[in-house]
């Protein structure tokens, strides 16, 4: 009897106060509660949100870029020429410049960069060699540059965009994996509790049956149809089955705690003080499964494989970017600009004999095109 007393004491230690009423719980309710309170799922959701933010930030490389520059400068430059243009008594001419420039540029996913710029400048001086003062210069221009070799297939912006997209895919797969694991753990714990509770019922009925057999044997002994020694075996069987009942009750309590551990929101959750009653009955209907179909579904839907595929794809993108950097750079560019000059004739200009100064007001076109080749000798760092 010492073994049974020890087991009973253990149950009293691990068992809290008996709840006044049981709380019915379906498998769907248990799953929903576990998904809502699972801390690992919360962490994976935050990681998905962070991955989405990084992906949005990487896509910002293709946003339209606007720049503006406004400045003022007043200066007098030293000269050593006879034709310094300085007014009488001055060491050098004085200039006052005001400039403003605006531009927009756009990076495309082909690696090309296009920009549109415009500027306005006002220049004034007291130099007697300057025809116009103040002078107004306005310009507008368009420029485009396209990589032909290195940077055509992939560049840093496209690499970052690709890696962040794969990171978002990997984080989503990790979240799905955590959800699947939680659902699987809840289902296993729920049906383990159902099985343990049913085992308790069976063990209790077994004890009742053994006790009835013991009582029947005692009655026969009292009627002198059996010897007194025949009561020992029924008594031993009753005690053995009571021990099995205690073990089954302990397993049921442990199964209930395992389920609560998945559902509770912390040590202070009121769920710990409630006895759970499984409201669903198991469905033992056989489901036919095709081995080939199951393998195909596992290869297609398992989130672990999706995580690994995303990781491999990210490393492959890094390798492709590194290989691209080994190539020499060959860029083609073209630009078109139109400048206009306007201003007032300088009243103090010095006229040189034989030279008739003409006002240079008008439009000045400017167009250029070419290629730029750049390769580090040896390319050791890239290799």
Q: Output the pLDDT for position 352.
A: 67
Sign of CA dihedral 193, 198, 204, 206: negative
With 0-12 CB in 10 A as exposed, 13-18 as middle and 19+ as buried, what is 309? Answer: middle
pLDDT of amino acid 229: 87
Strand partners, 22: 275
| Contact yes or no for 306/346 (Cβ under 8 A) | no
What's this model's pTM, rounded to 2 decimal places? 0.72
If 0-12 CB within 10 Å is exposed, 13-18 middle and 19+ buried, where does residue 382 land? middle
What is the structure's pLDDT at 16? Answer: 43
Q: Residue 55 has what pLDDT? A: 93
Q: What is the pLDDT of residues 86-101, one digit of tens each?
A: 888 788 889 999 999 9
Asked if pLDDT for residue 82 goes beyond 90, the answer is no
In this predicted model, what pLDDT tens digit does every residue of 120-164 receive, in sequence order? Answer: 999 998 888 888 889 999 999 999 999 999 999 999 999 999 999
Average pLDDT along the chain: 88
Q: Give yes or no for residue 318 having a pLDDT over 50.
A: yes
% of residues, the chain, pLDDT over 90: 64
* pLDDT at position 3 over 60: no
């Amino acid at each position: 009897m010492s073994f049974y007393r020890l087991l009973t004491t253990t149950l009293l230690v691990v068992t809290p106060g008996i709840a006044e009423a049981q709380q019915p719980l379906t498998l769907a309710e248990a799953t929903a509660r576990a998904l809502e309170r699972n801390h690992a799922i919360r962490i994976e959701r935050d990681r998905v949100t962070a991955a989405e933010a990084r992906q949005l930030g990487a896509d910002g490389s293709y946003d339209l870029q606007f720049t503006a520059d406004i400045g003022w400068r007043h200066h007098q430059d030293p000269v050593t020429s006879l034709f310094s243009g300085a007014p009488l008594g001055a060491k050098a001419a004085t200039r006052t410049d005001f400039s403003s420039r605006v531009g927009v540029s756009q990076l495309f996913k082909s690696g090309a960069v296009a920009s549109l710029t415009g500027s306005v400048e006002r220049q004034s001086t007291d130099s007697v060699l300057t025809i116009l003062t103040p002078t107004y210069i306005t310009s507008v221009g368009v420029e485009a540059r396209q990589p032909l070799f290195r940077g055509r297939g992939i560049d840093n912006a496209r690499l970052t965009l690709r890696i962040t997209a794969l990171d978002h895919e990997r984080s989503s797969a990790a979240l799905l994996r955590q959800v699947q694991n939680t659902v699987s753990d809840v289902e296993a714990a729920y049906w383990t509790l159902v099985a343990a509770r049913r085992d308790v019922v069976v063990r209790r009925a077994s004890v009742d049956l053994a006790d009835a057999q013991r009582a029947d044997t005692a009655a026969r002994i009292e009627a002198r149809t059996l010897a007194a020694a025949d009561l020992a075996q029924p008594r031993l069987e009753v005690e053995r089955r009571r021990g099995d009942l205690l073990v089954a009750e302990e397993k049921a309590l442990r199964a209930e705690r395992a389920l609560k551990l998945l559902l509770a929101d912390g040590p202070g959750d009121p769920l710990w003080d409630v006895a759970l009653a499984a409201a669903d009955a198991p469905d033992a209907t056989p489901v036919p499964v095709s081995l080939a179909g199951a393998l195909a579904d596992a290869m297609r839907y398992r989130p672990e494989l999706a995580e690994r595929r995303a990781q491999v794809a990210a490393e492959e993108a890094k390798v492709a970017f590194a290989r691209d950097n080994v190539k020499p750079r060959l860029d083609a560019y073209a630009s078109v600009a139109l400048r206009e000059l306007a201003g007032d004739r300088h009243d103090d200009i010095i006229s040189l004999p034989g030279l008739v100064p003409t006002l240079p007001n008008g439009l000045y076109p400017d167009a250029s095109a070419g290629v730029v080749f750049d390769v580090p000798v040896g390319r050791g760092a890239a290799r």
